[in-house]
Amino acid sequence: MNLPAPAGGRFRSLTRRIGGLRERWYSSLSLRVIVSIVAAGVMGIVIMGFAITAQVRASVFDAAVDADVEQFSTDVQLAQDRFGASAPSAGRTQEVANTLVASMYDPTRGVLGAVLLRAPDQPAMATQIFEPATASATRVRSLITPELRELVLESSEIGWQSVGIPDGDSIQPGIIIGTTIDIPGAGLYEIYAAYSMANQEELISSTTRVMWISVAVLLFLLGVVTWAVMRWVLSPVREASENARQLADGEFHTRMEVKGSDEIAQLAESFNQMAESLETQFTQMERLSKVQTEFVSAVSHELRSPVTTVRMAGQLIYDKREELPANLKRAVELQYSQLLNLDATLADLLEISRYDAGGMTLATESADVGDLVAEVIEAAEPLAQSNSVQVSFTIHGDTQAEVEPRRIRRLVRNLLVNALEHAEEKPVDVVVQANDTAVAVMVQDHGIGISSDQIEHVFERFWRADASRVRKSGGTGLGLTIAREDAQIHGGTLEVAGELGVGATFLLTLPKVPHSSFVPPIPLTPPAACEPLAEDEPAPESEPVPEEDQVSGGAL
């Protein structure tokens, strides 16, 4: 047995359909134009149709009334002449009256009968005429209204009134026409005749039917023509839109076909000029970028050997610093510190050049991400102490994953050192949390924070939020750039959120199997919504992520 669908299901289905229609309406210019033109055409044609119908009906009705009144007047005038020509005898007068009433019954002409009535308040006359008895007399008498009799008696002109004439189970339109007639020797009488307007009504109905059928055909043709015109006009626009998408995808050779010299052709020419300009500029930028990359790579490789030699020599001098005078000892320590920074800068530049060349390979192994993070935190303890920053660390879930440990250590170290440098002696929270598909590492500080404008540039090369700040750990401005590359090569993501004066949150999410689909274990949350975690406090459970919000491997 089939059960009816619940009301809630029908409502949701109707809501989806309305939403689909609304989306279709706002996403299709041709649909809006076609519907608007057809709607305007319908309104205009309907108004004109009603006006024309009313005019036709009035014209046909007036013409029919004029014809019937004229025919009635002619018949009455002939009868009046006959009454005056005959001797005023009762028999002859009655015969003329009967002939008059009988002549006013001809259904083929729409004359449905007549009746002859003695006018009220007449004095006794020598000749008395009885009302002619016909089959239609009763029906005609029933159609005469007091208002019409009053009009006929008070006016010497012919009067008429529209009436509905019973015809079986239906009512057909008609009119009653009446006037007075003076019969010699008998006095004043009233004569009324009923005329049918059925033929005129049928004519009007047929004309209206044909007109509305023509209107429907006209509207259909209007819609078809509008659709064809819109398709013809919008075809170059759609082509331009598709070509613009191809340009956005880097296909700068895309061009539009120029046809004629109208506005559409001018659009195509302008688009082609823009595409050509973009292609030229992109080629120049690509060439400059390639030269820059090759220069950085070449310089980095060329400087690697002499810097290594200088660093080794500096290491020897640094190891002997205790044997040097105090003023030279301090100079040696500064020299060695700067040599280490220079060596780190060259290493970062070489790493970036490898990413640019696309020659990076991932050497993964099964490792515990939580243990790797713990190692980085332990190694950064001296920097945390020098900055008077307390680091809280929490692990939740199975954090085993297929990763390259060297890159993960470097990535987390970059995030942690960045947080320690900007914490302003406030706590830094590190949370490692895992689910079945991914492992997330959240590094959050509550220091100077970062603005929305700075977030857009935070992963750019050599960019610093405040270049005037003194960093105790050095830095080249490439750390976060390399960190994002390390996340992407695993098929993971590195995201940032923050607010000035509140802090910053960096969220690293790595799939347990590189470049596989995953659900983020932790949502990206600004520091304002996150309280610092105690050292022994478990990480909060993250809300389940809907299936449509799952992140595919490699997306950032």
What would the 3-class secondary structure string for 474-515 be? Answer: CCCCCHHHHHHHHHHHCCCEEEEEEECCCEEEEEEEEECCCC
CATH number of the domain at 149, please.
Answer: 3.30.450.20
Between 50-54, 62-66, 347-351, 444-448, the lowest mean confidence (pLDDT) is in: 347-351
Sheet-wide strand order for 391-396: 391-396, 428-434, 438-445, 503-511, 493-499
Q: Which residues pair with 304 in a beta bridge?
A: none
pLDDT at 429: 92
R_g (Cα) of the chain, nearest Å: 51
Query: Is 171 in contact with 112 (CB distance < 8 Å)?
Result: no
Please tell me whether residues 110 and 244 are part of one structural domain: yes
Domain assignment present for 355: yes
How many Cα atoms occupy the beta-carbon half-sphere of 518 within 13 Å?
29
Phi, psi of 246 (to 5 degrees): -65, -40
Mean pLDDT of 43-71: 84
Rounded to whole angstroms, how far apart are CA atoms 204 and 251? 66
Please tell me whether residues 240 and 95 are part of one structural domain: yes
pTM for the whole structure: 0.44
Query: Is 362 in contact with 514 (CB distance < 8 Å)?
Result: yes
Packing angle of the helix pair 29-85, 198-248 (nearest 10 deg): 170
Query: Is 311 in contact with 343 (CB distance < 8 Å)?
Result: yes
What percentage of the chain exceeds 70 in pLDDT? Answer: 79
Question: Is residue 533 over pLDDT 80?
Answer: no
Helix then strand then coil, in percent of the chain rounded to 5, is: 55, 15, 30
Give the model confidence (pLDDT) of 150-197 as tens digits. Answer: 888 887 778 888 888 887 778 888 888 888 888 777 778 888 888 888
Question: Is residue 470 over pLDDT 50?
Answer: no
DSSP 518: B
Give the model confidence (pLDDT) of 485-514 as tens digits. Answer: 888 888 999 999 988 888 899 999 999 999
DSSP 97-125: HHHHHHHTEEGGGTEEEEEEEEPSSPPP-
Question: Is residue 374 over pLDDT 60?
Answer: yes
Please tell me whether residues 353 and 260 are part of one structural domain: yes
Backbone region of residue 160 per phi and psi (left: phi > 0; alpha: psi in -120 to 50; beta: other values) = beta
Q: Which of 411, 399, 405, 414 is nearest to 363 (CA)?
A: 405
Please tell me whether residues 109 and 220 are part of one structural domain: yes
Please tell me whether residues 119 and 190 are part of one structural domain: yes
Rounded to whole angstroms, how far apart are CA atoms 542 and 523? 7
SS3 325: coil
Between 173-177, 227-231, 261-265, the lowest mean confidence (pLDDT) is in: 261-265
pLDDT at 437: 93
Sheet-wide strand order for 159-167: 105-106, 111-118, 187-196, 170-183, 159-167
Residue 361 belongs to what H/E stretch? none
The pLDDT-based confidence of 293 (bands split at 50, 70, 90) is: low
pLDDT at 170: 80
pLDDT at 551: 36
Annotate 65-100 with three-state secondary structure: HHHHHHHHHHHHHHHHHHHHHCCCCHHHHHHHHHHH
Q: Which of 405, 403, 554 is nearest to 485 (CA)?
A: 554
CATH number of the domain at 332, please.
Answer: 1.10.287
Domain assignment present for 398: yes
The pLDDT-based confidence of 433 (bands split at 50, 70, 90) is: very high
Q: How many domains does the chain have?
A: 3
Give the model confidence (pLDDT) of 385-432 as tens digits. Answer: 998 999 999 999 999 999 989 889 889 988 999 899 888 889 999 999
Q: Which residues pair with 509 in a beta bridge?
A: 440, 493
Rounded to whole angstroms, how far apart are CA atoms 522 and 503? 18
**Most confident region among 229-243, 442-456, 457-471 by mean pLDDT:** 442-456
Question: Is residue 290 over pLDDT 50?
Answer: yes
Domain assignment present for 83: yes
Please tell me whether residues 95 and 197 are part of one structural domain: yes
SS3 410: helix
- When comparing pLDDT for 142 and 371, which is higher? 371
pLDDT at 397: 92
pLDDT at 307: 66
**Domain final position from 193, 220, 249:** 249
The pLDDT-based confidence of 346 (bands split at 50, 70, 90) is: low
Domain assignment present for 182: yes
Domain assignment present for 15: no
pLDDT at 366: 93
CATH number of the domain at 434, please.
Answer: 3.30.565.10
- When comparing pLDDT for 348 and 537, which is higher? 348
CA distances from 316 to 91, 319, 322, 344 (A): 161, 5, 12, 19
Please tell me whether residues 204 and 267 are part of one structural domain: no
pLDDT at 262: 73
Please tell me whether residues 76 and 181 are part of one structural domain: yes
pLDDT at 400: 93
**Domain final position from 249, 275, 302:** 249
Please tell me whether residues 208 and 284 are part of one structural domain: no
Question: Is residue 550 over pLDDT 60?
Answer: no
Mean pLDDT value across the chain? 78
Please tell me whether residues 217 and 245 are part of one structural domain: yes
Domain assignment present for 493: yes
Domain assignment present for 139: yes
**Domain final position from 360, 385, 416:** 360
Query: Is 32 in contact with 25 (CB distance < 8 Å)?
Result: yes
Rounded to whole angstroms, how far apart are CA atoms 256 and 279? 14
Domain assignment present for 534: no
Which residue range is the domain that position 455 belongs to? Answer: 364-466+474-529
Please tell me whether residues 180 and 322 are part of one structural domain: no
Please tell me whether residues 303 and 410 are part of one structural domain: no
Question: Is residue 552 over pLDDT 50?
Answer: no
Residue 163 belongs to what H/E stretch? strand 159-167
